[in-house]
């Protein structure tokens, strides 16, 4: 199949342009396995755009487009990988200007690479890279190692030429030996036995060692003029090739990165083996001739008519007509090893041909060859009817004569009874078929769940295939769809296939699923449209085939529809029926015409300012109290629900009746709450005003009397109602002092006469502990600071009437914390120590109703003690 016609030395290789031009057409149909993610910050890099320009130049030179079938895509080397399945990506700049498409780059794995297991180590030199990629990667690695600018991916430190390294044979990343050993021993690197490369995640089982790139020398020493970390000898590794039969070795000196592509020209035969061509060894292009295959198909009778193709031939699809042996019925079957070359078959039905006796027919199944003689002929039958006794059948002359009988029982097996022990005929030897059995048999249903005892006459009426006995039990098992149950009577199926049509809507939303009821989601709609799908403006086009239900493509051009306003358009072309609301900012008056609102979006036609409406209501007295609103303030059938604000003449409180327009206020009792006190002011009580209607009538009488007196006497107006009602009203809205009030007033008068302060007489003396007194004498400023903070906490709690308030002190020593704990009890506070040493501090809590001010503070008591006159000192 393969014959080498040149040595592996690159200096003797044949030029490749002619070989490439013959194999380019088949390269694009191959797929390559995508390389793992590369994350090193300083690694072999080259521009995808420069490579694409180089390929375009080769296209102009050779007048045909060629792209490497094994393009190495990597987000580290390229801007972005192409989508899976050979899709294309459109640059935003090209999409807005020319809508050009980039060439389609396919990626995937060849048949040999896709079958490799994860733990099988692939050939490092068989990685699918183009010749330019290999050369760029190898030269870049060499240059960075020479200049000491290559960075280790783990520690992000540059690798020197005299440091020990480890190089991955898959992704060709280089690491410090110490870094990769620490990584291999860590838990993140993989399992206990294997460890993964940080660059390509390939699993290694051997411990990392410092070797040269070709693994011939351990711990290579750096020699000036040679590549760092290389042995300086010939590489001799397998060349970078995509073919499995390439055994040529690399002739360059030990080097980092992948080996160059094999350029040896060899003779390789086509798929059918009839012709051979000279191709490059590294090419995996399929060679096809124009001849038919001519190999025998699987039936071993017909030859393959397909043009030269790889792999095995397709199964034979020829139809063969066959006839039955006995009935001459015909059928058509596919040609196979069993059916090929035969034109007859056995149908399985009884033969039915007339035997040589001329009276009986052949009971055997359809068979080949002549039928046997009749078994009832005298020369063929030498026994009685039951077959137990040998008799002389000289009296019988024909097969129609009855057989002689004996006195023994027939004992022929009947179709009834157990399977392993059928019933036997119990009557005396007889001719013809045995009569029905009079015994009983166990009749088992088809599903095997129930049995019953029945007469053999009833049992033989059932046939296990055509007419089985069925019980009344319904199968409750779920079908394969997992949604429906079988519900079949006496079911004996092992696999319950749901025969209901799914009928769910497909992803397109137009068609229904026509498959049988199934699990999981329905498949995508198989219907495609081969018409172009455009956006609303028609400037963006989606080329066919277009999947059913596909939405129009997104368009980045501005919407060109007719809009209701003349403001500039800010939104792009869209597929919705209505355009988005206009967001241009304008100035509009609110609906209540109160204020002019600025920066209002154009699509908001009704603007509310939030101020009270203030429009007069139909009642003519009140104004609308609602916030700025749209529409009438009050409907025609709605009445004003506000309260009357006219003050009563008797008490001055508002009427508070429902709005009665311009009518006089109704006569009602005033229910406003007022506070009344006793003359000394100790008793306070909330009562209703309770101005009675009769008082209002008397007031009206006084007004009428006053008006009549003014008219008659021509004197100034006199308010008789106030002069007469003022004193009784004050007496009515005033409480009487009780005995306690009198006692308190008497005590006050007595204290004033005796110059006694009654507040000081009720004070209980406060006794501070000896610890507090001694500490305050030594650290008075600290105690005063604590007292000020306690007083502020108590004051804020009582003023704001909060349930609980706290204050946190700074970390202190144990004696200072002890002072705070004891002093807080005199203020009605709770304290609690927080945090461990040395940051332990105290937090004080003040509860409303519990906290208080002490009558005498600790600092004040210490000050008073210092002012006291010391006792007399004896001179003796």
Q: Which residue has the tokens 């040609």?
A: 335
Spatial contact of 226 and 232, defined as CB atoms under 8 Å apart: yes
Dihedral of CA 781/782/788/794: which sign?
A: negative
Report yes or no: 497 and 479 within 8 Å, Cβ to Cβ.
yes
Q: From CA 841, how far away is CA 94, in angstroms rounded?
A: 68
DSSP-assigned states of every residue in 257-282: SPPPBP--EEEEE-SSSS-EEEEETT
Phi, psi of 651 (to 5 degrees): -120, -15
CB neighbour list of residue 183: distance below 8 Å, 6 or more residues apart: 154, 175, 189, 195, 198
What does the pLDDT read at residue 275? Answer: 84
Residue 618, Ramachandran bin (φ over 0: left; ψ between -120 and 50: alpha; else beta): alpha
What's the token pair of residue 461? 């009426």
The reported pLDDT for the residue numbered 133 is 72
DSSP state of 232: S
The residue ranges of the chain whose pLDDT is under 50 are 1-56, 58-128, 694-701, 704-705, 708-731, 761, 869, 874-876
Q: For residue 534, how many C-alpha atoms fall within 13 Å in the half-sphere facing its CB?
A: 5
Give the pLDDT of residue 16: 31
Q: Which two tokens stand for residue 532?
A: 């172009």
> How far, CA to CA in Å, does 749 sit from each of 600, 758, 759, 760?
73, 11, 14, 16
Provide the pLDDT for residue 783. 93
pLDDT at 573: 92
* CA dist list (Å): 685 to 269, 673, 714, 738, 869: 119, 10, 45, 14, 52
Cross-strand pairs, 844: 807, 831
Kindly give the pairing relationship between strand 344-345 and strand 319-324: parallel
Is residue 315 within 8 Å of 297, Cβ to Cβ? Answer: yes
The contacts of residue 598 (CB under 8 Å, 6+ apart) are 585, 587
The count of C-alpha atoms lying within 13 angstroms of the C-alpha of 706, restricted to the half-sphere facing its C-beta, is: 15
660: Cβ contacts below 8 Å, ≥ 6 apart: 644, 666
pLDDT of residue 764: 57
Cβ atoms of 183 and 166 within 8 Å: the answer is no
CATH value of 764-867 in 3.20.20.70, 3.30.1370.50, 3.40.50.720, 3.40.50.2300: 3.30.1370.50
- Predicted confidence at residue 401, as pLDDT, reads 81
- DSSP code, position 292: B
Of 754, 774, 735, residue with least CA distance to 858: 774
Structure token pair of residue 148: 């000491």
Say which residues have a Cβ less than 8 Å from residue 684's Cβ, sequence separation at least 6: 675, 676, 677
Per-residue pLDDT of 222-232, as tens digits, reads 888 888 899 98
Query: Which residues partner with 516 through β-bridges?
Result: 501
| DSSP string of 1-19, one letter each residue | -EEE-S-S-GGGPPPSHHH
DSSP three-state, residue 622: coil
Give, for 798, the enclosing helix (H) or strand (E): helix 780-800
Euclidean distance between CA atoms 464 and 442, whole angstroms: 14
- For residue 199 the two structure tokens come to 């660059």
* pLDDT at residue 138 in the model: 84
* Cα distance between residue 231 and residue 217, in whole Å: 6
Sign of CA dihedral 656, 659, 665, 666: negative
3-state secondary structure of 783: helix
Q: Report the alpha-carbon distance of residue 453 to residue 369 in Å, rounded.
A: 46
Place of tokens 């095995």: 312
What b-and-e string marks burial along 228-260, b requiring 16 or more CB atoms within 10 Å of the CB?
bbbbeeebebbbbbbbeebebbbbeebbbbbbb
pLDDT of residue 393: 66
Query: Phi and psi at residue 484, in whole multiples of 5°?
Result: -105, 160
Structure tokens at 649: 């003449």
Instruction: Kindly tell me the sign of the dihedral angle through the C-alpha atoms of 389, 390, 391, 394.
Output: positive
Dist CA 802 CA 807 (whole Å): 14
Per-residue confidence (pLDDT) for residue 758, from 0 to 100: 61
Q: How far is CA 328 from CA 96, 372, 377, in A?
A: 74, 19, 29
Question: What are the DSSP calls for 141-205, one per residue?
Answer: HHHHHHHT-PBPTTT--BPPTTS-EEE-TTT--EEEHHHHHHHHHSGGG-SSS-EE-TTT--EE-
Q: What is the pTM of this model?
A: 0.35
């Amino acid at each position: 199949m393969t014959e080498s016609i040149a040595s592996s030395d690159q200096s003797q290789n044949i030029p490749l342009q002619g070989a490439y031009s013959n194999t380019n057409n088949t390269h694009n149909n191959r797929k390559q396995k995508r390389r793992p993610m590369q994350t090193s910050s300083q690694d072999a890099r080259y521009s995808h755009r420069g490579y694409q320009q180089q390929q375009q130049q080769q296209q102009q030179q050779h007048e045909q487009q060629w792209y490497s079938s094994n393009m190495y895509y990597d987000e580290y080397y390229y801007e972005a990988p192409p989508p899976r399945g050979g899709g294309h990506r459109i640059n935003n700049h090209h999409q807005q200007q020319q809508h050009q498409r980039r060439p389609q780059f396919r990626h995937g794995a060849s048949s040999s690479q896709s079958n490799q297991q994860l733990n099988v180590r692939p050939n490092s030199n068989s990685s699918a890279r183009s010749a330019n990629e290999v050369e760029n990667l190898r030269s870049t690695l060499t240059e960075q190692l020479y200049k000491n600018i290559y960075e280790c991916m783990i520690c992000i430190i540059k690798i020197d030429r005299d440091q020990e390294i480890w190089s991955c044979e898959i992704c060709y990343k280089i690491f410090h030996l110490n870094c990769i050993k620490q990584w291999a021993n860590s838990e993140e690197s993989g399992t206990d036995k294997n460890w993964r490369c940080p660059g390509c995640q390939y699993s290694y089982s051997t411990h990392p060692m410092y070797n040269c790139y070709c693994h011939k020398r351990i711990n290579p020493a750096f020699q000036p003029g040679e590549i760092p970390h290389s042995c300086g000898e010939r590489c001799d590794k397998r060349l970078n090739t995509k073919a499995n039969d390439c055994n040529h070795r690399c002739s360059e000196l030990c080097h980092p990165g992948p080996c160059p592509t094999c350029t040896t020209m060899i003779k390789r035969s086509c798929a059918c083996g009839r012709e051979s061509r000279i191709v490059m060894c590294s090419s995996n292009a399929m060679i096809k001739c124009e001849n038919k295959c001519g190999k025998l198909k699987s039936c071993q009778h017909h030859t393959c008519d397909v043009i030269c193709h790889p792999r095995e031939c397709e199964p034979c699809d020829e139809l063969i007509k066959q006839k039955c042996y006995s009935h001459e019925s015909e059928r058509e079957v596919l040609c196979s090893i069993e059916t090929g070359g035969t034109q007859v078959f056995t149908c399985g039905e009884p033969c039915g041909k007339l035997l040589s006796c001329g009276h009986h027919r052949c009971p055997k199944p359809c068979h080949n060859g002549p039928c046997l003689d009749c078994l009832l002929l005298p020369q063929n039958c030498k026994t009685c009817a039951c077959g137990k006794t040998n008799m002389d059948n000289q009296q019988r002359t024909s097969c129609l004569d009855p057989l002689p009988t004996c006195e023994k029982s027939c004992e022929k097996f009947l179709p009834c009874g157990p399977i392993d022990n059928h019933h036997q005929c119990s009557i005396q030897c007889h001719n013809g078929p045995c009569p029905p059995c009079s015994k009983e048999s166990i009749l088992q249903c088809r599903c095997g769940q129930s049995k019953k005892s029945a007469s053999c006459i009833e049992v033989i009426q059932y046939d296990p295939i055509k007419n089985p006995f069925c019980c009344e039990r319904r199968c409750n098992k779920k079908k394969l769809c997992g949604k429906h149950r079988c519900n079949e009577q006496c079911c004996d199926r092992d696999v319950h296939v749901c025969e209901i049509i799914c009928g769910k809507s497909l992803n397109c939303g137009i068609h229904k699923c026509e498959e049988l009821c199934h699990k999981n989601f329905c498949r995508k709609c198989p219907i495609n449209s081969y018409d172009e799908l455009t956006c609303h403006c028609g400037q963006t086009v989606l080329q066919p085939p277009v999947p059913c239900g596909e939405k129009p493509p997104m368009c980045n051009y501005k919407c060109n529809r007719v809009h209701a306003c003349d403001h500039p358009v800010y939104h792009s072309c869209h597929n919705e029926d209505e355009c988005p609301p206009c967001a241009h900012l304008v100035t509009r008056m609110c609906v209540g015409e109160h204020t002019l609102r600025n920066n209002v979006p154009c699509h908001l036609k009704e603007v509310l300012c939030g101020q009270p409406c203030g429009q007069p209501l139909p009642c003519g007295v009140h104004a609308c109290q609602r916030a700025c609103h749209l529409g009438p303030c009050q409907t025609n059938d709605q009445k004003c629900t506000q309260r009357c604000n006219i003050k009563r003449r008797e008490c001055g409180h508002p009427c508070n009746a429902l709005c009665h327009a311009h009518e006089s206020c109704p006569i009602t009792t005033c229910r406003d709450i007022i506070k009344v006190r006793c003359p000394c002011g100790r008793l306070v009580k909330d009562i209703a005003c309770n101005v009675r209607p009769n008082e209002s009538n008397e007031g009206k009488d006084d007004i009428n009397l006053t008006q009549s007196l003014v008219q008659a006497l021509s004197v100034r107006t006199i308010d008789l109602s106030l002069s007469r009602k003022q004193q009784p009203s004050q007496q009515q809205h005033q409480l009487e002092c009780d005995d306690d009030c009198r006692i308190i007033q008497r005590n006050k008068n007595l204290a004033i006469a005796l110059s006694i302060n009654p507040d000081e007489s009720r004070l209980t003396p406060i006794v501070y502990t000896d610890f507090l007194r001694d500490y305050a004498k030594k650290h008075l400023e600290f105690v005063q600071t604590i007292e000020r903070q306690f007083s502020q906490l108590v004051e804020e709690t009582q003023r704001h009437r909060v349930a609980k308030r706290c204050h946190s002190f700074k970390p202190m020593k144990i004696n200072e914390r002890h002072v705070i704990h004891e002093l807080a009890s005199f203020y009605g506070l709770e304290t609690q120590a927080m945090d461990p040493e040395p940051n332990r501090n105290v937090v004080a809590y003040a509860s409303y109703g519990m906290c208080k001010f002490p009558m005498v503070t600790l600092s004040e008591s210490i000050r008073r003690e210092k002012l006291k006159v010391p006792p007399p000192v004896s001179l003796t």
